[in-house]
Amino acid sequence: MDLLNTLVDKGLRRELPTREEALAVLATSDDDLLDVVAAAGKVRRQWFGRRVKLNYLVNLKSGLCPEDCSYCSQRLGSKAGILKYTWLKPDEASKAAAAGVAGGAKRVCLVASGRGPTDRDVDRVTKTIEAIKEQNEGVEVCACLGLLSDGQADRLRSAGADAYNHNLNTSEETYGAITTTHTYADRVETVQQAQAAGLSACSGLIAGMGESDKDLVDVVFALRDLDPDSVPVNFLIPFEGTPLAKEWNLTPQRCLRILAMVRFVCPDVEVRLAGGREVHLRSMQPLALHLVNSIFLGDYLTSEGQAGQADLDMIADAGFEVEGQGTTTLPRHRADALSGGGCGSQGAAEASGATGCGSHGGGGGCGSHEASGGGCGPCGGHGEPEPATVADAGAGVPARESVPAGAARTDLVAVRRRGAGTDLAPNA
């Protein structure tokens, strides 16, 4: 297919495709799906080899958010039966982070619901960052606390934060239909504040909220212009008790086409498969590893992910390897630019997997499908189930019964009842 050959050539040169080419990827047929995955996989391997970076979420403060983001189980007025608790103490957060690091996570993402942090909240988070870094040498820390005020990004950077996450989520044109308590421009400004402070910027999207192909392309091109080091791609988990509860629009094939489009538009950026992968990709998750180079390990903010060991088995079975702490995630030209070394030329083809670079941890950041205007990271939830136990298999285990193609898979959504904010061990 001429389109795919063109996109591979552009991706290997870090050349931006046209909007028409990006739209054409989303319009490809299921018959061409494996060709699309194979083509985008060539670009992924050029810049990231067969490495998969593992990230681990710690939900510092859950629920009771004053923002009204339609997709969020923590939103104002949400009736989703999620865990609700105030700030974890630094030692509690450090203990939770250690479980993820022990499971293979290279980055810990610290997330808190809310519009944005107060200065006192930043004080809490800086102590938490220091506690985590003291007990887990070499771990990267990403903060995800919502809209930032002047000087807060600098304080987080001084405390040892490596990255900051804040997602655009959807196109500027449709943003007002999703959230009314803050603006698209507010989100852009926060990402730019993080970049100005020397933090590795992480910003992504949520697919499946009823948006058009044009909206998807618009937000991905906006992200490309913003130039974050990491782009998390979330797939909407339609929470019962939220305005988007009936939006079950995604198929595994559609998800793969979206990931391929993001990879072609952002060839040398860390593309992270984030919230909703177990629900919408299901048994096709391993194919996504040919497109993304980063995932979350175990559970999300308010929903359970598949078992942490299942994540590791999936990576190994698909022929990929977990990225170690001694490896810089980003290609050398991006890592050098992040550390002040300047960006390489557009046609440069630096080898991926360079080690020993002076970046703040080599890019990354957390994902987002939750926490509205405040800290946003992938999550899930639906209804008020019976409390889970550590032995529960989690949301990634399909039901035994056959489910018709295209049917809503509410059976794959389980509210998190373990890990941070509970007395049960985390899933990592």
Give catalytic status of residue 379 as yes or no.
Answer: no
Q: Is residue 167 within 8 Å of 232, Cβ to Cβ?
A: yes
Q: Is residue 276 within 8 Å of 380, Cβ to Cβ?
A: yes
Instruction: Quickly list H helices, 242-386.
Output: 252-265, 277-280, 285-288, 308-317, 332-338
| Predicted pLDDT of residue 363 | 37
| Predicted pLDDT of residue 354 | 38
Give catalytic status of residue 72 as yes or no.
Answer: yes
Residue 98 belongs to what H/E stretch?
A: helix 90-102
Q: Which CATH code, of 3.40.640.10, 3.20.20.70, 3.30.420.40, 3.40.50.12780, is assigned to 38-326?
A: 3.20.20.70
Give catalytic status of residue 343 as yes or no.
Answer: no
Give catalytic status of residue 266 as yes or no.
Answer: no
The tens place of each residue's pLDDT in the chain, 428 residues long, gives: 899 999 999 999 999 999 999 999 999 999 999 999 999 999 999 999 999 999 999 999 887 888 888 887 767 677 777 778 889 999 999 999 999 999 999 999 999 988 999 999 999 999 999 999 999 989 999 999 999 999 999 999 999 999 999 999 999 999 999 899 999 999 999 999 999 999 999 999 999 999 999 999 999 999 999 999 999 999 998 888 878 888 999 999 999 999 999 999 999 999 999 999 999 999 999 999 999 999 999 888 877 889 999 999 999 999 999 999 889 999 999 999 888 743 333 333 333 443 333 333 333 334 445 433 445 544 443 333 333 333 333 334 344 455 666 678 888 877 788 888 888 888 88
Out of 14, 115, 142, 334, the active site residue is: 142
What phi and psi values does residue 153 have, to the nearest 5 degrees? -60, -40
Q: Please compute, for residue 208, the number of CA atoms within 13 A of its CA located in the half-sphere on the CB side.
A: 32
Q: Among 404, 331, 368, 302, which residue's Cα sits nearest to residue 170?
A: 368
Residue 111 belongs to what H/E stretch?
A: strand 107-112
- Residue 50, classed as helix, strand or coil, is coil
Q: Is residue 167 within 8 Å of 377, Cβ to Cβ?
A: no
| Predicted pLDDT of residue 68 | 83
Give the integer Cα–Cα distance in Å for 415 and 394.
9
**Domain spans of the chain?**
38-326
Out of 14, 75, 109, 254, the active site residue is: 109
Out of 44, 50, 69, 277, the active site residue is: 69
DSSP 31-43: GGHHHHHHHHHHH
Out of 44, 50, 72, 257, the active site residue is: 72
Out of 51, 115, 224, 272, the active site residue is: 272
- Residue 128, classed as helix, strand or coil, is helix
102-121 burial, b if ≥16 CB within 10 A, otherwise e? ebbbbbbbbbbbbbbbeeeb
Q: Token pair of 306, please?
A: 């598949």
Out of 144, 202, 357, 366, the active site residue is: 202
Distance from the Cα of residue 350 to its chain's centroid: 25
Give the integer Cα–Cα distance in Å for 68 and 175.
12
Give catalytic status of residue 142 as yes or no.
Answer: yes
Q: How many residues does the chain have?
A: 428
| Predicted pLDDT of residue 323 | 97
Residue 272 belongs to what H/E stretch?
A: strand 270-273
Give the pairing type, strands 230-235 and 321-322. unpaired
Enter the DSSP assignment of 397.
S
Give catalytic status of residue 202 as yes or no.
Answer: yes
Distance from the Cα of residue 259 to its chain's centroid: 12
Angle ∠(387,295,42) on CA atoms, nearest 5? 150
Is the Cα dihedral 261, 265, 268, 270 positive or negative? negative
Q: Is residue 141 within 8 Å of 107, Cβ to Cβ?
A: yes
Out of 44, 65, 144, 263, the active site residue is: 65
Q: Is residue 74 within 8 Å of 64, Cβ to Cβ?
A: yes
**Taking the CA atoms of the chain, what radius of gyration do you get in angstroms?**
19
